Amino acid sequence: MTLEDLIPDLPLSYAQGTTYGLVFAIDLKMRLDEIQQEHPPVNYATPVATTDGRYVLHGDLLSEVGPNGMFGGTFSYLDQSRFNEVEVIDWSAAQALLPVIDPI
Amino acid sequence: MFIGVKGLSVVGSAVGNISGPGYDSDAEAYIDAVESADGEALETEVKEAYNNFFVGLKDDGLLADLSACCLLLGARTIAGALTPLVPSMPTPTNNNFVSGDYSRTTGLKGDASTKYLDTNLLANADGQDDFHLSVYETELHNTGGGTAGILGYTDFPGSSNAAQIVYRYNSLFIQRAKDNNSTQLNRGTVTGYSGIVRSNSANFDYRYPGGTGTITGTSTPAPSANMFVFANNLPGTGAYIRANCRATFYSFGAAITLADLDSRVSTLVTEIGAALP
């Protein structure tokens, strides 16, 4: 499933959003960074690098993409034609893509 | 336009709140700021709890020693909860928290993966040998492997200079205070207030529910990098070792008596819980 498939259901409920992870390539991450530099938000969507070179956001952000949502402003600047490049996976699978860090 | 009555004066208010008579002036300013961020007035009981907290901080001489602090409870929204305790403190930057992560009584919850607050307070803003950091947790970090930073900075895997409260494999509680000491303590499972404070170059004190003590560790200069909450800031990398604890309070500032702040924050948590059953 991709983010494009979820468009009719947006914004998601918090409970539903927490079950998803949003995974995408570095070029979309860089585009998100550009948007937030051009239109500085109060609340930042900050992707995290995965072990396979992609980036992930928690799907619960999709509970805040409506007009009055915390991430509604940033979401409105995104190019919906590229939503099919955002893979939607189970949150547990997304967490498995993150490095386990134990530096001590 | 609504008219509110504050003390003996009559003033206008953007959200139409009526603050209680005789509130501490800093408490009143904070309440106004929270209500403005929330877009709605707070309940009288919540305002009274906030006022009691400010009065207590001043009675203990603590308020002036806080450099960055947020009450992550009581407010109606995350925006309200991220209101600095006093206007001169930096406003934290929210990274990835959403409304569903916030409870008015139990605070803000991390996810150990993506969410953190950038306090916008530099780690070297307070003195190398005159600082504290503290947090009040209502749920402890509880995911499996690795290390989880509750708050602070770290330069791991660099020279091991850090000021942090972290968990390692859930049960260990490791604290550093601008040094490379790697003391590990058994944190246990009791929620509540935890902090570290350094007032000299040779050692620092720690406090957590059920435990206090002193750890030897020579201080070193902190980097010019911001302190984070629900993660540690690794300069050059950013948020690192995130945690999924839930917290109602954080503070950074000069050296203080942790027991005093613990008492004031614990009372605040109890009073807000009673105000919002």
SS (H, E, C) A2-50: EHHHHHHHCCCCHHHHCCEEEEECHHHHHHHHHHHHHCCCCEECCCEEC
Instruction: Please name the residues in contact with B61: beta carbons below 8 A apart, sequence gap of 6 or more.
Output: none
Q: Are B189 and B200 in contact (CB under 8 A)?
A: no
- pLDDT by residue for chain B (277 residues), tens only, comes to 333 333 333 333 334 444 556 899 999 999 999 999 999 999 999 999 999 999 999 999 999 999 999 999 999 999 999 999 999 999 999 999 999 999 999 999 999 999 999 999 999 999 999 999 999 999 998 876 778 889 998 876 655 678 888 877 656 677 777 777 667 777 778 899 999 999 999 999 999 998 899 988 889 888 899 999 999 888 888 888 899 999 999 999 999 999 999 999 999 999 999 999 8
Q: Are B33 and B87 in contact (CB under 8 A)?
A: yes
Q: What is the DSSP secondary-structure string of B123-153?
A: TTSSBTTBEEEEEEEEE----SSSEEEEEEE
Question: Above 90 in pLDDT, residue A89?
Answer: yes
Which of chain B's residues have a Cβ under 8 Å away from the Cβ of A44? 93-96
pLDDT at residue B142, as a whole number:
83
pLDDT at residue B156, as a whole number:
67
B114/A17 touch (CB, cutoff 8 Å), yes or no = no
Q: How far is C-alpha A94 from the chain's CA centre?
A: 11
Between A and B, how many CB-CB pairs are < 8 A? 75
Asked whether the CA dihedral B36, B41, B46, B52 is positive or negative, the reply is positive
pLDDT at residue B185, as a whole number:
79
> In angstroms, rounded to a whole number, what is the distance separating the alpha carbons of residues B77 and B81?
6
pLDDT at residue A20, as a whole number:
98
B113/A43 touch (CB, cutoff 8 Å), yes or no = no
B96/A61 touch (CB, cutoff 8 Å), yes or no = yes
Q: Does B158 touch chain A (CB under 8 A)?
A: no
ipTM exceeds 0.90, yes or no: yes
Q: φ and ψ at A65, to 5 degrees?
A: -105, 5
In this structure, chain A runs to a length of 104
Helix (H, G, I), strand (E, B) or coil at B83: coil
Strand partners of residue B9:
B6
Helix (H, G, I), strand (E, B) or coil at B117: strand
pTM (2 decimals)?
0.92
B95/A98 touch (CB, cutoff 8 Å), yes or no = no
Residue of B94, B96, B185 best to disrupt the A interface, most CBs of A under 10 A: B96
pLDDT at residue B20, as a whole number:
58
Closest partner residue to B100 among A14, A42, A48, by Cβ?
A: A14
Q: How confident is the model over A35-84, as pLDDT tens digits?
A: 999 999 999 999 999 999 999 999 999 999 999 999 999 999 999 999 99
pLDDT at residue B186, as a whole number:
76
Helix (H, G, I), strand (E, B) or coil at B40: coil
> In angstroms, rounded to a whole number, what is the distance separating the alpha carbons of residues B187 and B197?
17
> In angstroms, rounded to a whole number, what is the distance separating the alpha carbons of residues B101 and B109?
5
**Cβ-based neighbour number of residue B98 at 10 Å:** 23
Asked whether the CA dihedral B74, B72, B2, A72 is positive or negative, the reply is negative
> In angstroms, rounded to a whole number, what is the distance separating the alpha carbons of residues B259 and B179?
23
Which of chain B's residues have a Cβ under 8 Å away from the Cβ of A58? 96, 111, 113-115
pLDDT at residue B177, as a whole number:
76
Listed in sequence order, the DSSP H helices in chain B are 25-38, 44-59, 78-81, 258-275
> In angstroms, rounded to a whole number, what is the distance separating the alpha carbons of residues B264 and B258?
10
